[in-house]
Structure 1
Amino acid sequence: MQAFIPDLSILLAFAAASIVLAITPGPDMALFISRTVNYGRAHGIAAVLGASTGLFVHIGLAAFGISLLLATAPTAFFALKIAGALYLLWLAIQAIRQGGGITLTKKARRQPSVWQSYLTGVGINLTNPKVILFFVTFLPQFVSHDDPAAAVKLLFLGGEFILLSIPIVIAIVWGAEWVAGLLTRSVVAQRALNWSFAAVFAGFAAAILTIEARH
């Protein structure tokens, strides 16, 4: 593979994590579903595109910041990786404790424009602390501290995340009414999703901590 393309095993592992994140209920998904249910699919897709724009910002900032740590503070980079593992464990615990239900916003008296739905998607993504923490603490797990192409690989992985997540969330928009009903009324579905997410997050965290303990 080219120097800027991560190994196939890393691409597959990150793809699995990306898919789990894409279907995890949260503020972004709540926005996509509520805009679709209340105003139509065009608004839902506009919100998806807005959130994707926000992801480009997160990925760029994370890649730049992490590459800077690699060059100037290897110890801080190691600490960041450990923090990432602990953050994933926290996500696993939260997935079990918080019920995982999704709260949909109520329809406003005045219908927004499609452009406003797009901007709302940008805003909710840029200000979502979970998204910020995830990209800052999770992306470093997929590069080595001595890799000269780390920054470019991080950008490549960020692009992979966006390419995988957009079709998934657009599919959710198309099935918004069914997804909304499933996540707001079915306790069994919520619990199944929560335990699945918790298992994946905990598995990644355990793998990270095990690998770092061997170094």
Structure 2
Amino acid sequence: MTAALPPLPVDPRLFAGFLSIMMVMAITPGPANIFAVATGVSKGRAAAMAGIVGMNAATLVWFGAAALGLGALVLAFPAAVQAIAIAGALYLAWLGFQSLRGAFSTAQEPETARVSSRRNALVDGFLVQIANPKAVLFFTVVLPPFLDVNRPIVPQLLMFAAATIGMDMMSMTAYGLGGAALTRQMARPRFRRGFRIGVGLLLLVAALLIVMRL
């Protein structure tokens, strides 16, 4: 008779929903991905990879803070967390509509990011991610609805952290190493419009997934 496998820290259905939203968050252009592109273009691939390491180090800091306080928040104020999740879904939907609106704007300019030539790319990457509004949105809105109050919080956060950093690494690396090519493509109005339409639709899907989770 074979021994039963220990249960996963996270319910598989919750984890699948989290992965769907995280995929959208990872590939959506934001300060981190734009920084990766700018670093790759201005400083080269090695600097882009160093910046990516710095950004994911900041993500680990965010997860550490979540482990200290987010679990207590979920346990003490489940209704408040649900209200935050609804507000977050509305905000993601608003971002999606803004992206769709921007796709058809007559004054469209490629997004750019300044990269300091004085500091190390690793430090720059850390500073970009630690103050990234997208990271704040993730830890205050997206993550809480997927935490199961009936299971230990820390193992759940470790599993979510592994998935988040893994997806971010793949997305940021693609942006960083393909920075020059993407920059050239974003200068083309038709490509930029299609890209923004795709981003807008993905953000709307992410908002819908959060609402369905409630």
**What is the aligned-residue RMSD (CA, Å)?**
2.4
1:28 aligned onto 2:32: yes
Q: How far is the alpha carbon of 1:2 from its aligned partner?
A: 4.4
Residue 121 of structure 1 and its aligned partner are, at CA, apart by: 0.5
**Percent identical:** 26
Deviations 1:141-199 (A, max 9, x none): 2223x32323431331122110122123213322221011122x122222222222222
Unaligned runs of 5+ in 1: none
**Matched residue pairs, number?**
205
Partner residue, 1:103:
112
For structure 2, list consecutive stretches of 5 or more residues without a partner in the other structure. Answer: none
**1:41 and 2:45 matched:** yes
* Residues 31 and 104 in structure 1, CA contact (< 8 A), matched pair in contact too: yes
The equivalent residue for 1:67 is 71
CA distance in 1, matches of 2:180, 2:205: 32
Where in structure 1 do 4 or more consecutive aligned residues deviate above 4 Å? 1-4
Aligned to 2:62: 58
Output the TM-score relative to the length of structure 1: 0.82
Q: 1:164 to 1:4 in 2, by over 3 A?
A: same
Measured in 1, the distance between the counterparts of 2:9 and 2:172 equals 25
Which TM-score applies when normalising by structure 2? 0.82
Q: Which residue is 2:12 aligned to?
A: 8
Match of 1:203 among 179, 182, 205: 205
The answer as to whether partners of 1:37 and 1:176 remain within 8 angstroms in 2 is yes
Structure 2 counterparts to residues 59-208 of structure 1, below 5 A: 59-99=63-103, 101-105=110-114, 111-112=117-118, 116-144=120-148, 146-183=149-186, 185-208=187-210
| Distance in 1 of aligned mates of 2:98 and 2:24 | 15
Bigger relative contact order, structure 1 or 2, given CA contacts below 8 A and separation 6+?
Answer: 2
Please report how far the alpha carbon of residue 124 of structure 1 lies from its aligned counterpart in structure 2 after TM superposition. Answer: 0.9
Preserved CA contact (<8 Å) 2:95 2:203: yes
Q: 1:169 is aligned with what amino acid?
A: M
